[in-house]
Structure 1
Amino acid sequence: MSTAAVAILLVASMLAVGTAATVDDFRGLARRRRVVVSAVAVNVIVLPGLAVMLVSMAHLRAEVALGLLLAAAAPGGGTGALLTLHARGDLAVSAALQVVLAPVGLLAVPVWAAAAGYTVIPSGVAGLLLVGGGLFGQIVPLAGGMWLRRSRPDRAARVHRAARRVADVLLAGLVLYFVITGVGRLPEVGWAGVAVIAVLVAASLTTVTLPWLGSPAERRAVAMTTGVRNLTLGLFFAAAASPTVVLTLLAYGLLMYGMCVPAAWALARTAPVPAG
């Protein structure tokens, strides 16, 4: 149930982003390559590396450690772009990161898992379907939304409102689902595991304070995109793992949304910031 909801939320979020972004937004990123490269490095190298270090220091159970690594190594959660909209961040940066991180994440997760001694990607057709489905669910709605915005802006505006409404409702429902199903079972993950999750999410959000990541609007986009991990990808890779791995991913989702959503709302209350 949670996997299906996250998948639908991913598509709706990327469609909302696509119908709000333009080709010119992406062309403007050519002047901001440093921001994109730095953000990708934070998502693909720094945060997973921090997770490996914290998991080792905390001496977590193998299943909990794997769940944490899957979440930390899975960048590009679609709702990061949605929260960027709410936080009044730079949507072009967030959307570009989604495009880059979608395929990169499909490689980063099994690579980091293998580095930690785990095999998570199925062999043969199952593995190809997993990778293809992950790309399809992110790139297609984003590209379709941008095409609609370019060719039929009036219709794109209506689709954007509908997609964002659906995404907002699903996001609220998913947060509630994580609260109902996850809070009572957090002790099964262990308080050390919960503490590691909280540190990882907090570290992701602190990117909003790093001046070398660009303008305030760009930093908001990086913080929201980094804070929200790709739970769809993590849950798919965890499909053949133990229930404890899935529970750990749900716990990560609970704390992730519990910290990122209020952060986005807090940023939204501040004065709008211009794109860099």
Structure 2
Amino acid sequence: MTDSALITTGLPVALAIIMFGLGLSLTLGDFRRVARTPKAVAVALFLQVVILPMVALTLILIFDVEPLLAVGLMLLAASPGGTTASLFSHLFRGDVALNITLTAINSVLAVITIPVFTNFAIGYFDVDGKLGLQFGKISEVLAFILIPVVIGMFVRTQAPKFALRMDRPVRIFSIVILATVSVGALIGERDNALDYLLQIGLVTALFCLFSLTLGYLGARILRLDQPSSVASSMEVGIHNTTVALTVALSVLENPIVAIPSAVYSVFMYPFAAAFGYAVTRERSHAIESRPA
């Protein structure tokens, strides 16, 4: 699996294209928005960068997850929000601009958070073998994430109409490549796939539900408005699993570490849709029940 052309060459190139597409949707104003809405950005980033890995670690310890799968779940928790978070936010009346800002910032932060949390997990769970994400490999992660985003932003400033036309094709491409690699990761470990699914399936499903709920309720508790809370929920719950898969398969070169991200990608979209429908419907009922 890890020696195939799909993984060694295709997946990093695919991720670069996806992140280039993200860059096409960004402007410098998205980063400046931090100064205009500091509380919303700070709350969502705190939930995603600090609390979410703690939730993942708690689930790992409760369910006694196998070490390599545990590393994979921590890698998933450290991955940035997915580019489709803004689409789900739009569908359920969230603050799409906030999603774009959070995705941009978290994609940059991932250059630090992915090595930190992954190395913590490798050490904490005492993983045997050569598995390790040395900080010397940060340049690889940087190439996968940051450089294509910067290029995409530059192209947008020079050719805004092209950037607009490419938005939908890149989103479709990202979903197709995610599905392909997720299935490939499971097939590559097909001899043990059922055992892995039995062990990690429930954990990843719970992690997805907790992530969506945490993003929404955490924002509401800290008194963010409904659109910001929906945006926070989608950003925290929808991960860029392509980043996690690329790191697991191309950098760490271990298909078992990729299993949690592959399984999570199966749950992520239907759970996000169901959760978004639930909170939107609940909010509509609450508004309708208020006295005139």
TM range (shorter): 0.7 to 0.9
Q: CA deviation at 1:198?
A: 0.9
SS of the residue corresponding to residue 229 of structure 1 reads coil
The aligned runs of 1:13-162 (5 Å cut-off) are 13-81=18-86, 83-84=88-89, 89-116=94-121, 117=124, 118=126, 121-123=132-134, 127-128=135-136, 130-150=137-157, 152=158, 155-162=159-166
Superposition RMSD on alpha carbons, in Å? 3.7
Partner of 1:208: 216
Change in Cα spacing, 1:102 to 1:216, as seen in structure 2 (3 Å) is: same
CA–CA distance in structure 2, aligned partners of residues 146 and 268 of structure 1: 32
CA–CA distance in structure 2, aligned partners of residues 234 and 4 of structure 1: 16
Q: Which moved more, 1:243-252 or 1:137-146?
A: 137-146
1:15–1:141 CA contact under 8 A, matched in 2? yes
| Residue in structure 2 matching 1:220, options 202, 210, 230 | 230
| Residue in structure 2 matching 1:197, options 194, 204, 207 | 204
Q: CA deviation at 1:258?
A: 4.2
Partner of 1:166: 170
Q: CA deviation at 1:255?
A: 2.2
1:26-61 deviations in whole A, cap 9, x for unaligned? Answer: 333312111112211111111111111111111122
| Residue in structure 2 matching 1:251, options 246, 263, 280 | 263
Q: Which blocks of at least 5 consecutive residues in structure 2 are unaligned? A: 1-5, 285-292
1:65-106 deviations in whole A, cap 9, x for unaligned? Answer: 222122122233444345445555434322332333234323
- The number of residue pairs the alignment matches comes to 264
1:226-267 deviations in whole A, cap 9, x for unaligned? Answer: 222243443344344643222333222222244336656889
The one-letter code sitting in structure 1 at the alignment partner of 2:67 is A
CA–CA distance in structure 1, aligned partners of residues 108 and 276 of structure 2: 26
Q: CA deviation at 1:13?
A: 4.4
SS of the residue corresponding to residue 238 of structure 1 reads helix
Partner of 1:274: none
2:71–2:257 CA contact under 8 A, matched in 1? yes
Question: TM-score of the superposition, structure 1-length normalised?
Answer: 0.75
Q: CA deviation at 1:177?
A: 5.8
Question: TM-score of the superposition, structure 2-length normalised?
Answer: 0.71
Change in Cα spacing, 1:268 to 1:161, as seen in structure 2 (3 Å) is: farther
The one-letter code sitting in structure 2 at the alignment partner of 1:174 is L
SS of the residue corresponding to residue 37 of structure 2 reads helix
Identity of aligned residues (%): 25
1:29–1:92 CA contact under 8 A, matched in 2? no
CA–CA distance in structure 2, aligned partners of residues 219 and 9 of structure 1: 31
The one-letter code sitting in structure 1 at the alignment partner of 2:209 is A
CA–CA distance in structure 2, aligned partners of residues 135 and 81 of structure 1: 23
SS of the residue corresponding to residue 60 of structure 1 reads coil
| Residue in structure 2 matching 1:178, options 168, 173, 182 | 182
